[in-house]
Amino acid sequence: MTYDISIFTELLENVLEPYIQILTFGIDIAAGIVIGVSAIIALISFLKILRKSSEEQTHEKEKIRLRLARGMLLALDFEVGSDILKIILVPGINEIAILAIIVGIRIGLSWSLSREIERHHNSESSNSNSNSNSNSNSNSNSNSNSNQHINTPKDNDQK
């Protein structure tokens, strides 16, 4: 009893193809929903900050931009996963090459967004550390001042 491997792979492809297509379609829908929700939240947040001062707006705009970038990053990750699953269904080398280029571009975009988010997070945490250090220095100065004894006329009478 010899089994031909091509019959087995053809049977496996025929069985898996509809499920993989449904799965990739669902992943693509999820990515679209993530992008849509992220864009709507960013728009609403932007409209809310229009009444604030320009200094507050600058800080809030950065937060909004990063929140939108995180949503796009999540959607790109979904799309890369979907593209990898689609490669299973594609028989030709040309189609695989095209999908590989698309996946490469999406991974590059994902990496770029990750770096931007990380850069902002690192600069934000260093700013908060420098602020807490300056606050602790001013607190220690005020504590040292409160520990100093100021001579009052009553003290002078006791001497």
| Per-residue pLDDT, 123 | 76
Residue bearing tokens 């019959």: 7
Q: Kindly state the DSSP code that residue 53 receives in the 8-state scheme.
A: -
| Per-residue pLDDT, 6 | 72
Name the residue among 37, 99, 96, 94 with its Cα closest to residue 71. 37
| Per-residue pLDDT, 11 | 72
| Per-residue pLDDT, 3 | 63
| Per-residue pLDDT, 133 | 54
8 Å CB contact between 37 and 71: yes
Instruction: Indicate the helix (H) or strand (E) that contains 51.
Output: none
The per-residue pLDDT string of the chain (159 residues; one tens digit each, 9 = 90 and over) reads 456 677 767 777 778 888 888 999 999 999 999 999 999 999 999 999 988 888 888 888 888 988 998 899 899 889 888 888 887 777 678 878 888 888 888 888 888 888 888 887 787 777 666 655 555 444 444 444 444 444 544 555 554
**150 residue type, one letter:** I
CA angle at residue 40 from 36 to 41, to 5 degrees? 115
8 Å CB contact between 83 and 110: no
